[in-house]
Structure 1
Amino acid sequence: MGMTAWKRAGVSLTAVAVIAGVAGCQDGDGGRKAADAPAKATAEPQIQTHAAVTKVIRAAYEKTSAAKSAKVRMTITMPEAVDGGGTMEMTGVQGWNPGAMDITMKGSMMTAGDPDAPEQMRMIMVDDVMYVDMGAEKTAELDGKRWMKLDLKGGQAQKELTGGLENSLNQDPSQQLALLLESPNLKHVGAEKVNGVQAQHYKGTLSFEQMLDSNKEKSALLSKEEREKLVANVEKVGLKGYDTEVWVDAAGYPVRMVVGMETGVGTMHMKADYTDYGPKAAVQAPPAKDTYDLAEALAGLGGS
């Protein structure tokens, strides 16, 4: 994929990550499209009290935080009116504390404007080092080295090459649950099936200002000027807040997270389905002999 398309997708995803602070989406009808059709119940569903809901979400936060990794299937849709708009689909493994991922990406957000872009791309990140699968054709040109390596610890220049893509994809679902606990109207919707798994559906809303105040870890990264600019940009696109939803299975883990953000130019959609929490979803870096260090190559070309 050309650098223009890469950065186009990265900038779009980073904007969503900063604004939402979570991974997930809502389909605009209370999230019921996002879940499988609920199974017919033989009795009226038991709706949990607010105290019970808080207990469930807090327990899910603790279990998810301890798991540290899971398999994920994520879909992000941005309005076409937004620069880099389109759809991105991602499947693979995600880790948190420490952050890691092994993700295959595809969709119009990656390929628009770049006729040479591949239909899909695999990306791995371990210990702040990103590896991108260059494909068979490029591998032949690089003496059999299939993976382009980019050490993000190397500085801002290396991070700019990715367009912020790694920050957007490497979200921590446990922190998403912590943020949902801050919603003033967190409630239990009922029992539903997600991907064939019985789960309990919860939802809540937060204004943009509430999100920034609650998500102190991300908002602390912003200077006063950056925060003011971000708020101004959010007001410009008409984003007042967003709806957050989660489906928790019988084991206490979130099997789906959903957020929908209505703006003046359309709705931003994000959805993440999770399975196989824990060590089964480990991430490994490619063998060193198969990697091509981009930073060293650029240094050899005088930074061009």
Structure 2
Amino acid sequence: MNKAMWKRAGITLTAAAVVTGLAGCQDGGDKAAEAPAKAQSQEDVTKVIQAAYTKTAAAKSAKIKMTMEMPAALEGGGTMEMTGVQGWDPAVMDITVKGSMLSAGGPGAPEQMRMVMLDNAMYMDMGAAQAAEMDGKRWMKLDMKAVAEAAGGQAAGKSMTGGLENMNQDPAKQLALLLESPDLKHVGPEKIDGVDTQHYKGTLTLEQMVAANKNLDVLSEKERTELVDGVKKAGIKAYDTQIWVNGDGYPVRMDLGMKMEQGTVKMGMRYSDYGAEATVQAPPAKDTVDLFEMLKGLGQG
């Protein structure tokens, strides 16, 4: 595997890793609804978000369009757009990725890349040109479970994989996290893609985010502390989130991001067709290179 290909894979994984429990202070939605609405009480706000959580969790899947922007000061910084389908019970994803972050992989970088996630593994289509350098195998696989086991600890594993197991941004979990925000509030009515919605937002500190993230319950107190310390060293300061809920009680837009010393990593997600079938299949083994096994082989060599 040549240097350009390693860089391309690294940039893609970096982008995927950043898409992990983020929160964003992005700009607002589309033009606000003309008719002013009475501000909702804190009790009403909580009821709306709780109801949205219940409906979203039950839907289990949706069509998605995600955009991400990373500060230029970060390695692999730039923009990325992802479209496709995702499921969150179980966690699966089949998306097409394009944007400047992909083209930063150097000469021969594909204009777009397909990424598939299921069974705790991420598969990346590196393109026909790169397949020639991998014995005709165009798919690269990263088995997150294998990495975590080899790392010797849940915290180390999550750090090494960049939290890829959460890349699909389960919208139900985002709603649950928003409920933990001490300043959760109703912003007001807005139209999103021509649909009437209600806009809500809240903020969580790093410590509050970790405490609210049930995915981290498997960590020991020591591992949790190590994880938090590592995130702090990366310069992460705070998480914010904004959500727009339609008249049917489903979130149609979420803006997530992460404040860092280098700037704010921003991600916007649009959801539609809740309950859409999310049938995801792994690429054939004969067309796949296992990145973790390859790295182990290089280490032994």
1:281 is aligned, of 277, 280, 288, to 277
CA–CA distance in 1 between the matches of 2:107 and 2:60?
Answer: 38
Q: 2:64 aligns with which of 72, 91, 108?
A: 72
Runs of 5+ unmatched residues, structure 1: none
8 Å CA contact retained: 2:245, 2:253: yes
Q: Which amino acid aligns with 1:257?
A: M
Q: Say whether residues 1:291 and 2:290 are aligned partners.
A: no
Return the match for 1:135 from 114, 127, 130. Answer: 127
Does the 8 Å contact 2:19/2:167 carry over to 1?
Answer: no
Aligned to 1:10: 13
Name the CA shift for 1:119/1:215 in 2 (closer, same or farther; >3 Å). same
> Could you tell me which residue of structure 1 aligns to residue 107 of structure 2?
115
Number of residue pairs the alignment of both structures matches: 287
**SS of 1:2 mapped into structure 2:** helix
State the alpha-carbon separation in 2 of the partners of residues 152 and 282 from structure 1: 21
Partner of 1:126: 118
Deviates more, 1:144-153 or 1:94-103: 144-153
The answer as to whether partners of 2:142 and 2:292 remain within 8 angstroms in 1 is no
8 Å contact 1:149–1:291 — kept in the other structure? Answer: no
Change (3 A) 1:219 1:105: farther
Paired residues of 1:14 and 1:167 also in contact (CA < 8 A)? no
2:93–2:116 Cα contact (<8 Å) kept: yes
Equivalent residues of 1:6, 1:110 under 8 A apart = no
Q: Is the contact made by 1:192 and 1:200 (CA closer than 8 Å) also made in structure 2?
A: yes
Q: Give the counterpart of 1:246 among 243, 246, 262.
A: 243
What is the SS of the residue equivalent to 2:280?
coil
- Alignment partners' CA distance in 1, 2:164 and 2:182: 31
Gaps of 5+ in 2: 152-156
Q: Is the 8 A contact 1:205 1:243 kept in 2?
A: yes
Residue-by-residue CA offset, 1:230-261 (whole Å, 9 max, x unaligned): 23433xx6x2x232110011111110111344
1:193 deviates by: 1.1
CA contact (8 A) 1:262 1:268 kept: yes
Q: Partner of 1:87: helix, strand, or coil?
A: strand
What amino acid does structure 1 have at the position aligned with 2:56?
T
Aligned mate of 1:194, from 192, 203, 208 = 192
When normalised by structure 1's length, the TM-score is 0.80
Check whether the contact 2:87–2:93 (CA below 8 A) recurs between aligned residues. yes
C-alpha distance after superposition, 1:12-31 (max 9, x if no partner)? 542452xxx24x6332xxx3
Q: How many angstroms does 1:189 deviate by?
A: 1.3
Quick check: 91-100 or 107-116, which moved more? 107-116
Alpha-carbon spacing, 1:275–1:290, altered in 2? closer, same or farther (3 Å): farther
- Read off the aligned partner of 2:31 and give its amino acid letter: A
Q: Which residue of 2 aligns with 1:259?
A: 256
1:102 maps onto 2:94 in alignment = yes
Q: Residues 191-224 of structure 1, C-alpha deviation per residue, up to 9 Å, x if partnerless? A: 1111222111111122222212222423754443
Q: Which amino acid aligns with 1:72?
A: I
Q: Distance in 1 between matches of 2:66 and 2:239?
A: 18
Q: Does the 8 Å contact 2:5/2:105 carry over to 1?
A: no
Whole-Å Cα distance in 2 between the matches of residues 164 and 62 of structure 1? 28
**TM-superposed deviation, 1:138:** 5.3
Q: Provide the C-alpha distance between the structure 1 equivalents of 2:267 and 2:178, rounded to a whole number of angstroms.
A: 15
Check the 8 A contact 2:116/2:124 in 1, yes or no.
yes
Q: 1:232 and 1:37, CA in 2 relative to 1: closer, same or farther beyond 3 A?
A: same
Measured in 2, the distance between the counterparts of 1:84 and 1:144 equals 27
Residues 1:217 and 1:83: Cα distance change in structure 2 (over 3 Å): same
Identity, % of aligned pairs?
49
